[in-house]
Amino acid sequence: MQDIAARRRAVVTVALCAGVAVLTLVSLGVGPVKLSPVAVLEALFGGGSEVQRIIVQDIRLPRAILGLAIGAILGLSGAALQGLLRNPLASPSLFGAPQAAAFGAVLVIALGGIDVRSFMLPVAAITAAFVSVFVLLAIAGRNASLLILILAGLAISSLAGAATSLTMNLSRNPFAALEIAFWLLGSLEDRSFRHVALALPFIVAGAAILMSRRHAFRALSLGEESARSLGVDVGRLRLWAILGVALGVGGAVAVAGAIGFIGLVAPHLMRPLIGYDPARLMVPSALTGAALLLAADVAVRLIPSTSDIKVGVLTALIGVPFFLYLIVRERRALGGGLA
């Protein structure tokens, strides 16, 4: 039995890696300027005309890298939070972490004199994300019911979204409306390697922290008491998890805005295939998150529209019905919380 499960996990992981690789290539191949797959590959490795190289290397490659990295860290954060809280509805976006991070970034911009490509932006976003998740977990307490988590998360994300809009409106920027749309809905359009350099170190650090705690999450799935008896310091684990999520989500939001629901959906898609072990769920969830965001970002470019569709719109269109389905499935637990 063990053997069959392990083989299945390996097959799923390999398939996911292949899927992510294919989607990355598709992401490089899709854009307003039609380039053949051969031309794209040539340009990627330094061939082709200068224009082709610029399009593939400077415009599409950073976008694909960010889609992959941000999707992965969102999936990983979702899996980590679900493991930490032993709660299938935990995810960064339901906790308002991306919205809070966007507020942090926008606040720094509105205070003025800051280039949006400076490291101040991710630092502010990470700080705000950390505060929001910390406050949420403090409000929810140790053994939070689903209902309390969802309500508190809703409150924080609404507040952060409103604060983001207001900050933009109060700034002297006359183009506030368009900027607000970017920060609240998220977009990977026309990102560059400067954005990659800005976000990637934090995303990698966040991922490393979360991955290093995976065995503690597994121990925690047996219950807090058992975890303690296995030597897990639950209080410190919480802090590490919050820090990891904040670093990853804050770094991502600082360059791409608040992209929601990847962290909620990805672990759920993997659970039937991988099982319920939080530690084993993390890498497949990250890969699924990467695949989801890359696919959404390809779709945004393929759907014919007169103005650019924000990628966060698409992830919400997929994520919200999924969330509702989860609520229906967890209705008993939620109802129990009410009674």
CB contact set of 53 (below 8 Å; sequence gap of 6+): 43, 46, 47
Residue 311: closest CA among 330, 298, 329, 321:
298
DSSP state letters, 134-152: HHHHHHH-TT--HHHHHHH
Choose between 175 and 332: whose C-beta lies nearer to another protein.
Answer: 175
CB contact set of 252 (below 8 Å; sequence gap of 6+): 69, 70, 73, 74, 98, 101, 199, 203, 259
Copy the structure tokens of residue 222: 């047996």
Choose between 185 and 274: whose C-beta lies nearer to another protein.
Answer: 185
Q: How far, in Å, CA of 83 to CA of 86, rounded?
A: 5
Choose between 127 and 192: whose C-beta lies nearer to another protein.
Answer: 192
Q: How far, in Å, CA of 90 to CA of 149, rounded?
A: 8
| Least CB distance to another protein at residue 211 (A) | 31
| Least CB distance to another protein at residue 45 (A) | 18
Residue 71: closest CA among 235, 263, 240, 281:
263
| Least CB distance to another protein at residue 32 (A) | 4
Choose between 94 and 109: whose C-beta lies nearer to another protein.
Answer: 109
| Least CB distance to another protein at residue 20 (A) | 23
Choose between 134 and 193: whose C-beta lies nearer to another protein.
Answer: 193
Choose between 54 and 239: whose C-beta lies nearer to another protein.
Answer: 54
Copy the structure tokens of residue 77: 């954060």
Choose between 81 and 181: whose C-beta lies nearer to another protein.
Answer: 181
| Least CB distance to another protein at residue 31 (A) | 5
| Least CB distance to another protein at residue 195 (A) | 9
Q: How far, in Å, CA of 241 to CA of 130, rounded?
A: 10
CB contact set of 87 (below 8 Å; sequence gap of 6+): 81, 144, 146, 149
> What residues line the site for another protein (CB under 8 A)?
31-33, 51, 54-55, 58-60, 109, 115-117, 172-175, 178-179, 182, 190, 192-194, 307-308
| Least CB distance to another protein at residue 73 (A) | 20
